[in-house]
Amino acid sequence: MFLSRENEINLLNEDFDKPNSTLNFIFGRRKVGKSSLVNEYIKDKKALYLVSFETMASLLIKEFKKTIDIFFNINKNEEISTLDDLFYYLSKSRINNKIVIVLEDIHNLIKIDKLFLINFNNYWNKYLKNMNIQFIITSSLLPNNFEILQISKKVDNKIRLKSLGFNTIKKIFPNLSKNDQMNVYTAFGTNPKYLSFYNERKDFRTNVKNNFFRYDGSLYNEGMNIIKKDLSDAITYFSILYSISMGNNKIGDIASFLNLKSTYLTRYMQKLLDLMIINRITPINQDPIKTKFGRYEIEDNFLKFWFCYVYPNANNITSNKIHNVQEHIKVDFNKRLLPSAYKKYIFEVLENNPEEFLDYIPKKIASWWNNKDLEIDFIAYNTQTITFIDCKWIKKNSLESDYRLLENKANSFVSQLERKYIIL
């Protein structure tokens, strides 16, 4: 099932119509849908598909050449031993009508050749840019130095795929109650494959038990598999993600939870950022590069749920002692994960259809907090109006009380714009 990537498809189609060769990068964490997007896009186009996999460089180059020969109907025994040779060989192919060339999973190529992105700039300049092609590269790794690489200056489109939105749940499970739709969104995320394991004939708790809390459950090992695929020191990364899932989103709090020094965690946090497994968010009025107020969140709802409840309970699950785990989730899930998932959903709505709640198109929407434990879920503004927004999944106080509290918090945010307030 292919869902909700129309903007990316349109962007690639516009790029394909250009009268010259173009270069596109698609970045996204594992299981976010890069392959699904590419396959949907090329289904009506002639495309050469080269998939990188973890093997010796010589074997990968040999497989690439075989795929190129089949695609162009070449019958040569030419010896190809380097990637430079391979791209030169490819450039000699005759192309009358524009084609798409996909180089998928270059994070695997980078494991073989750490200088691949640097060298690819030469391959593009020497061989590829003069062909009649649209070149698409996909990767589960977005290096933090990508923007300063020469190849980044040649890119026509850099697409970063995020998780599908809440509407995916609505489309797949239109008959579920709104509460159950939010439950599914919070625990299973929006990956259509994961959602395919959900049985609508059974209630939410039973689905969680069958998929997450059984040794043979479809999703029991999934979080572990995602992390281990790219990270060698998995224990440290598991521990960091567990800490974040428990609500520790400042690097100092993460380090304290793990009884480690913040400086020790820096390179691990950067790797998780490069793999797009976590995001670093900053207050709306702060420079993301300079601010020390950065917070970390797990990008995918599914992975957050997995580290919050499956990872710390592996022993109980493997020994089939899950009653206490289920009773804990019954109480904890609603106050720990649902409010942040609801906030994430509201942000989607505000981004995609701001006029549903605001009477203007905002220049920016983001969260805000300061160093005195004041936090506002979202602030939106244009040149005239600033709106302060709080999201309440669980209603603890009266609306009047929540409204006054929001006004008081907003007084700490300096702005001369006309002020408005919304409680959702």
pLDDT tens digits for range 291-345? 989 999 999 999 999 999 999 999 988 888 888 889 999 999 999 999 999 999 9
**Residue ranges of E strands in 34-165:** 47-51, 99-104, 133-139, 157-160
Confidence category of residue 245, pLDDT binned at 50, 70, 90: very high
What token pair was written down for 101? 């060339």
Reduced to 3 states (helix: H, G, I; strand: E, B; else coil), residue 135 is strand
What number is the average pLDDT over the span 166-176?
Answer: 96
The predicted structure's pLDDT at residue 223? 95
Domains of the chain: total: 3
Reduced to 3 states (helix: H, G, I; strand: E, B; else coil), residue 240 is helix
pLDDT in tens, 387-423: 999 999 988 888 899 999 999 999 999 999 999 999 9
Q: Of 160, 195, 221, at which residue does a domain stop?
A: 160
Q: Of 317, 340, 363, at which residue does a domain stop?
A: 340
What number is the average pLDDT over the span 349-375?
Answer: 92
DSSP character at residue 150: G
Confidence category of residue 232, pLDDT binned at 50, 70, 90: confident
Kindly state whether residues 213 and 235 are assigned to the same domain: yes
Which residues share a beta bridge with 389?
378, 422
* Average pLDDT across the chain, whole number: 94
CATH number of the domain enclosing 296: 1.10.10.10
CATH number of the domain enclosing 52: 3.40.50.300
pLDDT in tens, 67-110: 999 999 999 888 899 999 999 999 999 999 999 999 999 999 99
CB atoms under 10 Å from CB of 397, counted, come to 12
Q: Of 123, 141, 160, at which residue does a domain stop?
A: 160
Looking at the domain assignment, is residue 347 inside a domain? Answer: no
Kindly state whether residues 336 and 371 are assigned to the same domain: no
What number is the average pLDDT over the span 177-202?
Answer: 97
CA distance 102 to 227: 25
The predicted structure's pLDDT at residue 233? 84
CA distance 266 to 161: 24
Kindly state whether residues 40 and 10 are assigned to the same domain: yes
Kindly state whether residues 277 and 183 are assigned to the same domain: yes
Confidence category of residue 28, pLDDT binned at 50, 70, 90: very high
The predicted structure's pLDDT at residue 2? 62
Kindly state whether residues 69 and 24 are assigned to the same domain: yes
Kindly state whether residues 152 and 189 are assigned to the same domain: no
CA distance 406 to 392: 12
Looking at the domain assignment, is residue 261 inside a domain? Answer: yes
CA distance 405 to 158: 41
The predicted structure's pLDDT at residue 297? 98
Looking at the domain assignment, is residue 362 inside a domain? Answer: yes
Looking at the domain assignment, is residue 124 inside a domain? Answer: yes
Cβ neighbours of residue 172 under 8 Å, at least 6 residues apart? 1, 3, 192, 195
Residue matched to tokens 């009266």: 398
What token pair was written down for 297? 């969140």
Looking at the domain assignment, is residue 387 inside a domain? Answer: yes
CA distance 11 to 48: 20
Q: Are 4 and 165 in contact (CB under 8 A)?
A: yes
Sign of the C-alpha dihedral, residues 262, 266, 271, 274? positive
Kindly state whether residues 50 and 134 are assigned to the same domain: yes
Looking at the domain assignment, is residue 1 inside a domain? Answer: no
Kindly state whether residues 272 and 379 are assigned to the same domain: no
Strands 99-104 and 364-369: unpaired
Looking at the domain assignment, is residue 204 inside a domain? Answer: yes
pLDDT more than 70, % of the chain: 99
HSE-up (13 A, CA, CB side) for residue 327: 5
Domain that holds residue 261: 167-340
CA distance 139 to 307: 24
Kindly state whether residues 38 and 126 are assigned to the same domain: yes
Kindly state whether residues 86 and 126 are assigned to the same domain: yes
Residue 280 Rama label (left phi>0; alpha psi -120 to 50; beta): beta
Cβ neighbours of residue 409 under 8 Å, at least 6 residues apart? 374, 375, 376, 388
What number is the average pLDDT over the span 160-181?
Answer: 95
**pLDDT over threshold 60, residue 1:** no
The predicted structure's pLDDT at residue 373? 83
Kindly state whether residues 146 and 194 are assigned to the same domain: no
Reduced to 3 states (helix: H, G, I; strand: E, B; else coil), residue 393 is coil
What number is the average pLDDT over the span 280-299?
Answer: 94
The predicted structure's pLDDT at residue 194? 97
Looking at the domain assignment, is residue 346 inside a domain? Answer: no
Kindly state whether residues 207 and 131 are assigned to the same domain: no
Find the distance separating the first CA and the last CA of the chain, reported in whole Å: 32
